[in-house]
Structure 1
Amino acid sequence: MDLYFLGTGAGVPAKSRNVTSIALQLLKERRAVWLFDCGEATQHQILHTPIKPRKIEKIFITHLHGDHIFGLPGLLGSRSFQGGETPLTIYGPPGMKDFIEASLRLSCTHLKYKITIHEIREEGVIFEDDTFFVSVKRLQHGIPCFGFRIVEKDLPGTLLVDKLMQNGIPPGPIYKELKKGHTIRLDDGRMLNGKDFLGAPKKGRIVTILGDTKYCEASIELAKEADLLIHEATFAKGENDLAYNYYHSTTVQAALVAKKANAKKLYLTHISSRYQSEQDEQMLLKEARETFLETYLAHDFMNVQIERDKGKTEEHL
C-alpha cells in the first residue's frame, strides 16, 4: 500500500503545486488504484508517475468545489481512450451524478467501460469487501464535504510450520486448509484446529483522507489510531479567523486533530498559493510539529509507502 500526492495546492494551480488529488495504490492488495479527488489536470500529473488510469478502480470525491472535481471528465475520457475497460465506481456528494453525466453528454464523450455513481447521503460505511471497508463522516465546509477512513481488515497470522512438524504433520495440502483456520481430521483420528497453528493476526492499516474542513470532531473520529492522516492546512498558524471564515484549517489545527486522534503520521496538504517559498514551507512545518512531531508537508509527486507490520511510513520524492 502506498500513495501519490498528485496535487497539494488549494483553490487554483500554482507553479509548484497543482490542485487536489491523491492516489492510493493497492496493487499488492487488490491490483487496483483508488483516487481521492480529481482537480484540474490530474491526468497530466498522473503522466509523471507509474500510475495507470486503467488500474483506477474507485474514485472518491470529498466535495464539489472545482479544485477537487474539474479534472474528472478528462480523466474518465482518457481512461477509455487508453484501453480501460474494467468498471469504475465513483463516490461523492449529492450532485456528483449530474456533474458527471452532463459533462460526458455535452462533450459527446463515450466510455468503453461501465461507471457506477454512488451519491453519499448518510454517514457510515459506503464500501466493504473481504479486504477493506471505507467509512465517511461529514466535515465542516461551505458545501457538503466528506472525510474518508480506509481500513484494511486484519490478515490471518503466519502458519506455524515448526509447530506442525513437531506434531508429526508433514507439508501437504492440509497446510492450506489449516492456514484458512479450518478444523481437520487426520487419518489417525486426531482433530486439528487451524487456529491453533497460526501466529498473531497481522493488523490492517488505516488511512484517513479528509476533504476541506474547519477543525471539527468528525475529523478526529475519522483519524482515530490512523497509520496515516492526510489533513488540509490551507493557512498558517496566525490565520485562525481567515481559516474559520473560509471553512478551512490552519497547520496547528490539523496537528491538533492528529494528536487527539493518536494518529501515527500526519501529512499536510491543500496549501494556499500564498506560501510558495522554501522559507514559507519550513514555517508551516515548524508550526505543526510544535503540536504533533510526526508531521510532514506534502508535495506534488511525493510517494509515501505504508508498511503493514509496524504501520511505518517512508516518503520518497
Structure 2
Amino acid sequence: MTSEAGHQPAVPSVCPRHPDREAYVRCQRCGRPACPECQRPAPVGIQCVDCVREAARTSPQARTIFGGRATDGRPLVTYTIIGMCALAYLGQLASSEVTSRFAFAPYLGWTEPWRFVTAAFLHSPSTYLHILFNMFALWTLGQYLEPMLGRARFAALYLISGIGGQVGVTLLAGSPTLAGIAAGQDRAWFTAVVGASGAIFGLFGALLVLNRHLGRSSAAMYATIAINAVFGFLYPGISWQAHLGGFVTGIICALVIVLFRRQGVRHLVWIALGLVLGLLVVVTVGKYLTVPPEIRNLTVFR
C-alpha cells in the first residue's frame, strides 16, 4: 500500500517587476506572475503591463486617409497654435519689443533667420481684428484638415506654409541697391510683416488639393480665397506677397502628402516635406546672394 503525502500550500510567486511583492495571478499571454499593480484586464483573464505595452507597439496604428495617425477628432494642434498666437499677442500689447524682435522684414532674414518662423505667430498690435480674423480662419480650417491629415502632418503643413509666406515676401521685395536705398527707394525690403495669413493661405491651398483628391467640392472656398486675395491688393498694410507664398507652399505640401499617403511609402512623406523646406531655404539663400553684402548683413535699418 502506498500512503498519501500531505498537500503543501501553494507558495505565491514573485512579481518580476516588483520583486518585493507576491503575485498570485499569471499573465495570460506570457505566463509570468503579475502583482495587482502590473495587471491589466484582457478579454480573457489579465495581462501584464509588459505584454500590453508590446501589443500596443506591434499592433497596426489606425491611419487617416492621408497616412497620418488617426486621432479622437479633437484639433489639438489647431488649439495650440491659436493659444500661442494669443499669448504672443498679449506679449506684443505689453511690450513693443516683442514685435520688433520677432517680426519679419526681408533685410533681417539673412542675419536673423528665425524671424521666418516667429512672424507667423505675431499680429498687428494696432488692431485686434487682424488676429481675430486669422484665428477664426485657422479654427475653421483646422477642424477640417487636422483630423484628415493627422496632427503631425497638419503641424508640418502650417509651419512650412508660414515659412513659405515669408519667403514670398523676400522674393517679391525687389532687388535693393545702395543707390536705391540712398534715393529712398526699395522700401519693400525694409517693411516688417507679421501674421498667420501666410500659413492660413497655405491651409487654403492644401484644402483645395485634398478636396480635389477626395472628389469633394471646394466651390465655397474659391470665393473665400478670392475675397481674401483681393483685400491684399486693395487695402494697405496687408501683405499679398505672404499670402501668395503661403498659398503656393501649401499646395506643394499637400501634393507631397497625397503622393506619399499609401502604406508602403507613407514614411517617405517626412523626407519629401523636408525637401520642400530645403527648397525654400535654397531659393531664399539664392535671393540673398543677389543682394549687396552691405544690405544683406544689415541688422538695423535707420
If the TM-score is normalised by the length of the shorter chain, which range does it land in? under 0.3
1 or 2 for the larger relative contact order (CA 8 Å, sep ≥6)? 2
Going by fraction, where is helix more abundant, 1 or 2? 2
Compute the TM-score of the two structures, normalised by the length of structure 1: 0.23
| TM-score of the pair, normalised by structure 2 | 0.24
Bigger CA radius of gyration: 2
